[in-house]
Structure 1
Amino acid sequence: MLLFDMDGTLIDSNGVWKDVDREFLARRGLPYTHAYYEGVAHTILPLAAKFTREYCRLSESCEDIIAEWMEMAKDAYAHVTVKPGVRAYLKQCRAEGRRMAVVTSSVPEHCRTALTHLDLMKYFEGVTLAHDLGLEKKSPELWLAAAETYGVRPEDCTVFDDSLSACKGARGARMRVVGVYDGFFAQDETAMRGFCDVYIKSFEELLLPPRREVRP
């Protein structure tokens, strides 16, 4: 079974949160650092808020931090775009009878908005939300839970993700991993290439060449 991350893998949306993070910190006179990015990237909102509150020594509650983030993100997911080659690859896999699902740490509301807006939901059996399980994608338990949901063995799953930590979590669950390039994680490209079973810059690399008609 094929398990796809959403943000940065299927859709070009990582920039939404980078902009939110920069503005959130700027409002408090704080710099956007690599350490902060490492603490919140591809993390479910409750844990990202907890990290932010402690790292930035804020007096606001985690609930208030999340509310501010959600207000700043607003309807951004209604305007995100699908990444190159994704739609064609999903169509190709569906034609081959491959089972597919989404595993994401995205906010449930944003996930539904994006997949509906881009008409991608029709390709997937379902969506596993890390937010609902209270697990991070770097945790093998999340990937094992996804496999159990769809009644498949972990070793029969292939994960597509742009985050090195998520790929490590999936590998810890005995899954095959395909690293997907995204500019948000560009600094991890060398490590991803060394760790993943396959690494792609674009889903266009996975498309089969069109069949040629052969004259009788």
Structure 2
Amino acid sequence: MNYTGAIFDMDGVLFDTERIYQETWHELAEERRIELGRGFLKAITGTNGERMRRVVEEYYQVPDGLTVMEECMNRMKRKLSEHVPIKDGVCEILHFFREQGVRMAVASSSLPGQIEANLQRAGIRDYFNAVVSGTEVESGKPAPDIFLRAAERIGCRPEECFVFEDSENGVRAGHAAGCITVMVPDLIEPSEAIQPYCAWICRDFFEVQLLFTTRCEL
């Protein structure tokens, strides 16, 4: 299996931030005396823009979800202002890819400023040749736009890029882009329906690196 590029989602993949997002969403719900349904986690993960707004409006029972979204993002910015928790094996896989000459990108639904701040604060910004935000493309995940843009930015063909995702929306987007899509689950276990879209499903990046050293070629 030949590859030249690696594209990473951010929240829940590079950083253990999905848990903090969920805590924040629930804080906002409790303040409004709303109980979020069990489907909220799956519905909101991997979304942004109009799709996220529709989810927020449905679960928070508000006519315009933008106010709730902005408050969530502001609280997250404060919470991550001092420390961004890195997921297990991330530093090792980034070093491995750089040693192999693989070009890397981040493709995240988050705002550009938050992506850059998190990468800088975690000390891993220099590993990446490009950063693409969901605000830069017409359609968010599960549409393939963000991964196609990321592959273009790092000068690689999509079919020669690995995509690393934790959400089903992200996995579908990577698959639709024609990339080799690997799911590294975070808060949500992969459903049977999503498994055909995944080249591999790995518990962490230590397992990912093991598979690369035994199955893949540059």
TM-score, normalized by length of structure 2? 0.84
Q: For the residues of structure 1 that align with 2:180 and 2:205, how far apart are their CA atoms?
A: 17
My pick for the range that moved more, 66-75 or 155-164, is 66-75
Please say if 1:118 is aligned against 2:157.
Answer: no
Q: For the residues of structure 2 that align with 1:189 and 1:119, how far apart are their CA atoms?
A: 33
Please say if 1:38 is aligned against 2:14.
Answer: no
- The count of aligned residue pairs is 206
Structure 2: runs of 5 or more not aligned: 211-218
CA RMSD of aligned residues (A): 2.2
Partner of 2:164: 160
Q: Which amino acid is the alignment partner of residue 204 of structure 2?
A: S
Q: Aligned residues: percent identity?
A: 28
Largest Rg, 1 or 2: 1
Question: Which runs of 4 or more aligned residues in structure 1 lie more than 4 Å from their structure 2 counterparts after TM superposition?
Answer: 189-194
TM-score, normalized by length of structure 1? 0.85
**Contact 1:44/1:107 (8 A) holds in 2:** no
Please say if 1:19 is aligned against 2:19.
Answer: no
Partner of 1:185: 188
Q: For the residues of structure 2 that align with 1:134 and 1:26, how far apart are their CA atoms?
A: 33
Partner of 1:49: 53
Structure 1: runs of 5 or more not aligned: 209-216
**Contact 1:46/1:62 (8 A) holds in 2:** no
Shift of 1:144: 1.9
Partner of 2:200: 198
Q: Which amino acid is the alignment partner of residue 171 of structure 2?
A: C
Q: Deviations over 1:166-206 (max 9, x none)?
A: 11111111111111121x113x2655555411111111123
Partner of 1:175: 179
**Contact 1:43/1:137 (8 A) holds in 2:** yes
- 1:33/1:57 Cα in 2 relative to 1: closer, same or farther (>3 Å)? closer
Partner of 1:68: 71
Shift of 1:15: 0.9
Higher relative contact order (CA 8 A, sep 6+): 2
